[in-house]
Amino acid sequence: MTAEVRVDGLGVGTMCSFHVDSLPRRVRGARVTVVGDFSDEQAHRVADPIEARVVGDPAAAIGADDVDAVVIASPGSAHEEQVLACLEAGKPVLCEKPLTTEAATAAAVHRREIELGRRLIQVGFMRRFDHEYAALREMIAGGALGAPLMLHCTHRNPAVPEFFDSEYMIRDSVVHEADSARFLLGEEIAAVSVVRGRPPSGAPAGVSDPMLVLFEAESGALVTIEIFVRTGIAYEVRTEVVAERGSALIGLDQNVVTKRVGGTWGGTSTPDFVARFGQAYDDQMQLWVDAATRGIATGGGAGDGPRRWEGAAGAPRRRG
Ligand code: ISE
């Protein structure tokens, strides 16, 4: 491994473009040497300004001599094959969620990582690096509020692409709440139920948006999630813990709101997840680069997230 980690960025849509931009500017110790996307044009748009090579074939890019580690932000359906290729090549990988699109394949990827004997996968659960989530976890773990009884999670996107159906909402959006719930409560999710709501006019046919999701944690603590990805308003992600001796709420956008205009109280809401979680994405990337320098991965891994909803021991009940 060279002193500077040479990174391959796979799938350069919004998220990977953000990461590719962060590596030279806001993260120490890495540079992007190879870029790949199903659209060669998009790959060149990202690669050319930073003098990276464009390699269309993901397997060739992962195996390339000038690649030490890989950032995967391709569509979820491509993750399984690409992450497995990283494992076989012995290269640390930061894979955007979902790790794979099915619980069984995610479990298989995790098993392969264990078989090979080296932690190489970090999953893009960036909320763990957000200062508010980290402070809330500390508050809960420190016992200041007493035992947590409920988490109330609001997860609203202003808009999503047409293909973002109800399954996508669970895999791409609610997956963050699964990770956050486990991160904040420090325990596993034992049961999941989903109630489908009435879509707003203009939503694609057959989509259930909003939905209410209920997790029951092993201790009996309840986690309610409102997932609504076509609000037309702003990016709103809030989490409130209600515990035995008090409650605490994060995600009020206090960093950007709070000003008085002509006697009214108001401000701007966060427009999107990159604006809301920019600091968390960068800190996540720094941790990944630091670990990749040592040829390993740390942070949220293949064993986190909804993989645990199904599978071997202690398989949760599914309802709804
Ligand atoms: C997106 O992919 C993300 O990861 C965001 O954090 C989430 O809020 C959004 O719903 C997803 O589409």
- The 3-state DSSP class for residue 123 equals strand
Task: Please report, for residues 154, 167, 306, the alpha-carbon distance to residue 208 in angstroms, rounded to integers and kept in the order given.
Answer: 16, 9, 20
* Distance from C-alpha of 200 to C-alpha of 242, rounded to nearest angstrom: 30
CA of 237 to the centre of ligand 1 (A): 10
Cβ 233 vs Cβ 226: under 8 Å: no
Atom 7 of ligand 1, nearest CA residue: 173
Best probe residue, ligand 1, of 155, 176, 180 (max atoms within 8 Å of C-beta): 176
Residues with CB under 6 A from ligand 1: 155, 157, 172-173, 176, 229, 273
Of ligand 1's listed atoms, the one at least distance from the Cα of 237 is 8
Atom 2 of ligand 1, nearest CA residue: 172
Tell me: cis bond preceding 49? Omega within 30 of 0 counts. no
- The 3-state DSSP class for residue 317 equals strand
- The 3-state DSSP class for residue 268 equals coil
Of ligand 1's listed atoms, the one at least distance from the Cα of 157 is 10
CA of 66 to the centre of ligand 1 (A): 31
Local confidence pLDDT in tens for the 320 residues of the chain: 557 999 999 998 888 889 998 998 999 999 999 999 999 999 999 999 999 999 999 999 999 999 999 999 999 999 999 999 999 999 999 999 999 999 999 999 999 999 999 999 999 999 999 999 999 999 999 999 999 999 999 999 999 999 999 999 999 999 999 999 999 999 999 999 999 999 999 899 999 999 999 999 999 999 999 999 999 999 999 999 999 999 999 998 754 444 454 666 666 778 899 999 999 999 999 999 999 999 999 988 888 755 443 333 333 444 54
Give φ, ψ of 42 to 5 degrees: -65, -40
- For the entire predicted model, the pTM comes to 0.90
CA of 272 to the centre of ligand 1 (A): 9
